[in-house]
Chains A and B, each alone.
Chain A
Amino acid sequence: MTVAAAGAANLVQSVDWAAIAPPTIAAVVALLVLVADLFVPKERWQVLGWTAIAGLVAAILALVPLRKGDRSTFCLTTDADACSYTADHFALVIQFLVLGGALLTALLSLNDTKERLPAGEFWFLLLSSAAGAALLPASRDLATLVVALEVASLPAFALVGLKRGDRMSGEAALKFFLSSVTATAVMLLGVSFVYASTGTLHLTEIAQALDDVPAQLETVAKAGVALTLVGFAFKTAAVPFHFWVPDTYVGAPLPIAAYLSVVGKAVGFTGLILVTVIAFPTYADVWGPALSVLAALTMTVGNVAALRQVSTRAWSAVRLLAWSSVAQAGYLLVPIAAAAYSGDDQIGATVAYALMYAVVNLGAFAVAALVARTHPLNRISDYRGLYATRPAAALVMGFFLLCLAGLPPGIIGLFAKVTVFSSAVDAGLGWLAVVMGVNVVIALYYYLQWTAVLFRTPEGVPVAAAEGVPARPATAPITAAIALTAVAGVVLSGYPQLVLRFAADTLF
């Protein structure tokens, strides 16, 4: 570094511990759980779960003092504006999203860790991944970004493969791992190209440096930008980097599938937003069209595949949610693409949509986890007549599905879609808005079909319930997760401003 002569004292960056508290708490509790696992007797392993949950709650609470969104730390001693960690509004909202998502995942997993999953490892991995995911939105240089991304995804591979003795789980983990590692390698190559051509890793400085790259380095810079974007596109499961999604979701434990669909996706999007909007605005004319085409492809492929799911096939419910999450990723990409045309105010629409999607999708997975207790195969046909056996769960599930479809009474889903539409219209991307419109209709078909199944009269006499499988009551944590998401969904439907306000102001 050039400042070596300035003396040792100046090299030490000041650390604002309060600002970095949310990811730090998650990481520290993760280590704590890992160590405690050695000493806690097997019959009291539930303690670990509750510790992890408490840690996540504490991490969420640590966001409260930061709510003004003006903190940043790890700044260069030579340039106070170039910081590696910034707790602005964007970072805080995404941190809230991923920590909240992890919390709900933890609630859903409490039972599984009692029966099927190794408790200590599970909680450690979940918390580490959450810590990485929480670090990512705040990181403002490429090195921190890549590290955060890896911290978030490496434990996720292990989580997917954690089902002991389950061949599918191992296969899913391997598939996920191999494709993800390839993407990371590509992204690292891209990052190094960008570093080579600009001489800095800080996003804001890259933005300035990219404006006047020396002519002979221009190709390197362009290649670097493209490769970096490919890496993030993979993490968001954008088409054509989506093929790992369905098998991974089906093979993973159900709560982990929920985690991947919400937190994993949020991680990818945050990274994509940070590099496109903050670091590479110079190349907006390149990534703008690319992202809009990607968005159109992603939503179309996801929806068409979801439409083709056969409801009697094993795990069709999870498969459908997996494909629908690919489609939803397409909607999430629209405002980012729009930002290329009309400024980064559009990003708020992605954030608002992601918040809505997180609440609703986690809720749907929570109900799926509940149904999986009596129907381990989790076919959509298993949901037939849910209203007769569990009226509240069926009503809530219907609400979540209609939110995902974007139809009243799922008002929040509708208005989140409206913000995305309006960002596309505002940016002059009329064709993308129309493609999205057609996709919304396709998606409605399968969401509504599932909703209709919930309220059908149950097939035949419930013999199986009477003789074979005993009716297993819902456990308190799953009920709590469903209730939490349902209340959040209903409150948001009554007062959408809570999340939509992010769509109205600048977040950075």
Chain B
Amino acid sequence: MIDISESVMQFLLAFIVVGPLIGAAAALLPAPPGLKGKSPDQAVLRHGVTVTGAILAAAIVLTLGFDHDHPSKMQATTDISWIPALDVRLHLGIDGISLPLLVLTALLTFLCALYSYFRMPAGPSPKAFVALLLVLESGTLATFAVLDLLLFFLAFEMVLIPMYFLIARWGGEGRQPAAWRFILYTLLGSVVMLLGLLLVGLKAGTFDMVALATDNGRDITTSVQVIAVLAIGIGLAVKTPMWPLHSWLPDAHTAAPTVGSVLLAGVLLKMGTYGFVRIVMPITPDGMHILAPYLAAFAVAGIIYGSLACLSLARTGAKGDLKRLIAYSSVGHMGFVLLGIATMTPTGVNGALFANIAHGLITGLLFFLVGAIKDRYGTADLDTLAGATGAALYGRAPRLGGLLAFAAVASLGLPGLAGFWGEMLALLGAFQPAEGLSRPAFLTFMAVGAFGTLLTAAYLLLVVRRVCMGAKPAADQPALADIQTYEFAAWTPLAVLTVVAGLWPAVLLGLTDPAVQKLLAGGKS
């Protein structure tokens, strides 16, 4: 949109990846004079807001400087040799697929930092909190920006330690086992993924994603591709998470502090699906072709499983935790993303990428809202909240209730909001899957997936009815604070973007489509 010289773009991208790391180191040092603020805690939280804000600004400038006429081209690329022995190169670059995810990460982390500035989760000192948040941001951004398989793995691993500590130190009830489960599951997955990446790299002779994608798996035999897809796929599927490898997710979400849940659902899960699109699909297309129907089957199983789990949690008397419910709904939503990817068509993959972003915005917002409700009521237990007739949030805190209803409706995929397009395109892709994939199978998957949207609508509306509606509260109940200014500031961008993406999907699809076409065609654009 605006013309920025290539070297500035390179610098911006490198800054986006490295900046948070430097910020994290700085957060551990004592504040310099002049920036001491009211107290050390306040100073370091402010530092977090400043750094994430700077990164977000850089990401926005990068978006403005991005050549929107050629989104399939890698831009702002840096390519320096780092470890010649392993042929690892510091190869960074963005195209239409990674740019939206990069901006989403920068935005969500900034909003989380802003939210914590006003509402620091209970736990040890904020110093470590801010440092871990920044390392987490760096790892996530690096995952979307690197173009080297081993570097991708490094970035993928980098988020584990900060997230573990965020859950284990600042989390709620049952945080220790939940944090352990999160890290052991993901690590087991990523070790298997490393083996797959090494197999691909050693057989093809390079770890460079761009070169590998251009080769389109020509140098790798089909049997090796199948093994590689299995290995890499397991690692990514744990992260995504794909049913039945999802069981770490509900606990981690329930135990994590609000910002932890927001980042976990908003961006960490996307690392898995991004890996499928960026690595598995273009680099090992033959293997993916063979395994795609299975992936799709697991995906729709996840859709149904997630929705049914949510429905059972939403029932009266089920003692369902709202955070756990949203977590299970993520399993369902990510199922749509995986289904879109498994179709291996431009329509489906574009839908998947769109659903990725939409899920990040909407579920991020939902976790913020549920966190706020938990803060106000002291519990997220649906039965305690709802009482006999319902929590009556519309009456007690109308703005909070309204926003919750908005997010729930967006999440169930109401046309006109962001949640709609991704799931619709994913199902549409399944209607006409790529050549060579069994159409009847995918038609079945489509039908089952469509049924899943109905279930999704059912449980979300049930939640809205039980939380937002209800009998007029008795006069003796304490007043409930409505949305505060800082909450308003942290949530508005998400709500606005949900509407924008819903009304004007071309903004995103225009970016992703050319890049997806190129990846599917094997770099022959």
Contact = CB atoms under 8 A, between A and B. Distances in A.
A425 B150 CA distance: 15
B414 interface: no
A408 B157 contact: yes
B83 interface: yes
Contact of B84 (A437, A441, A452, A501): A501
Contacts of B188: 437-438, 441
Contacts of A448: 161, 164, 183
Nearest to A398: B161
A433 interface: yes
A457 B123 CA distance: 11
Contacts of A414: 154, 157
A408 B86 contact: no
B249 interface: no
B154 A504 contact: no
A283 interface: no
A407 B156 CA distance: 10
A497 interface: yes
A419 B83 CA distance: 11
A372 to B, nearest CB: 26
A441 to B, nearest CB: 5
Nearest to A449: B180
A425 B195 contact: yes
A438 B201 CA distance: 21
A457 B85 contact: no
Interface residues of A, number: 34
B377 interface: no
A493 B207 CA distance: 20
Interface in B153-188: 153-154, 157-158, 160-161, 164-165, 168-169, 180, 183-184, 187-188
A172 interface: no
A496 interface: yes
A422 B202 contact: yes
A421 B160 contact: no
A440 B195 CA distance: 12
B202 A503 contact: no
Contact of A497 (B84, B128, B158, B195): B84
A422 B191 contact: no
A418 B157 contact: no
A445 B184 contact: yes
Interface string B382-398: 00000000000000000
B24 to A, nearest CB: 10
Contact of B83 (A409, A438, A496): A496
A425 B202 contact: yes
A501 B81 CA distance: 13
B82 interface: yes
Given A408-B154, A409-B161, A441-B187, A422 B85 contact: no
Contacts of B154: 408, 411, 414
Which of B194, B199, B201 counts the most chain A CB atoms within 10 A?
A: B194
Interface in B98-131: 124, 128
Given A433-B195, A441-B188, A419 B86 contact: yes
A415 B83 contact: yes
A434 interface: yes
B198 interface: yes
B192 interface: yes
B225 to A, nearest CB: 15
A402 interface: yes
A67 B169 CA distance: 49
Contacts of B201: 422
B168 A418 contact: no
Contact of B82 (A421, A434, A497): A497
A409 B135 CA distance: 10
Contact of B150 (A409, A418, A433, A502): A418
Contacts of A457: 124
Interface in A28-73: none
B292 to A, nearest CB: 23
A437 B161 contact: no
Interface string B190-223: 0110110011011000000000000000000000
B241 interface: no
A441 B188 CA distance: 6
A500 interface: yes
Contacts of A444: 183-184, 187
A247 interface: no
Contacts of B82: 496-497
A501 B160 contact: no
Contacts of A430: 195
B5 to A, nearest CB: 28
B150 A407 contact: no
B229 to A, nearest CB: 15
A445 B168 CA distance: 14
Contacts of A502: 85
A188 to B, nearest CB: 38
B195 A421 contact: yes
Contacts of A408: 139, 154, 157-158, 160-161
Contact of B192 (A437, A455, A497): A437
Interface in A384-438: 402, 407-409, 411, 414-415, 418-419, 421-422, 425-426, 430, 433-434, 437-438
Contacts of A504: 84-86
B83 A434 contact: no
Contacts of B124: 457
Contacts of B128: 455
A179 B408 CA distance: 69
A500 B191 contact: no
A425 B198 contact: yes
Contacts of A497: 82-85
A441 B194 contact: no
A123 to B, nearest CB: 37
Contacts of B191: 437-438, 440-441
A501 B168 CA distance: 38
Given A411-B154, A500-B83, A501-B84, A441 B161 contact: no
Contact of B198 (A407, A411, A418): A418
A437 B85 contact: no
Contacts of B184: 441, 444-445
Interface string A478-508: 0000000000000000001100111110000
Interface string B20-37: 000000000000000000
A495 to B, nearest CB: 8
Contact of B86 (A402, A407, A409, A503): A503
Contacts of B194: 418, 421, 437
Contact of A415 (B86, B164, B168, B169): B86
B449 to A, nearest CB: 33
A414 B139 CA distance: 15
Contacts of B168: 452
A143 to B, nearest CB: 35
A425 B168 CA distance: 35
A179 B164 CA distance: 42
Contacts of A409: 135, 158, 161
A60 to B, nearest CB: 23
B202 A407 contact: no
13 contacts: A407-B161, A408-B139, A409-B161, A418-B86, A422-B201, A425-B202, A433-B195, A448-B164, A457-B124, A496-B83, A496-B86, A501-B85, A503-B86
Given A408-B139, A441-B187, 20 more contacts: A352-B85, A402-B161, A414-B157, A415-B88, A418-B194, A419-B86, A421-B194, A421-B198, A422-B201, A433-B195, A437-B194, A438-B191, A441-B191, A444-B187, A452-B165, A452-B168, A457-B124, A497-B84, A502-B85, A504-B85
Interface of A: 352, 402, 407-409, 411, 414-415, 418-419, 421-422, 425-426, 430, 433-434, 437-438, 440-441, 444-445, 448, 452, 455, 457, 496-497, 500-504
Interface of B: 82-86, 88, 124, 128, 135, 139, 150, 153-154, 157-158, 160-161, 164-165, 168-169, 180, 183-184, 187-188, 191-192, 194-195, 198-199, 201-202
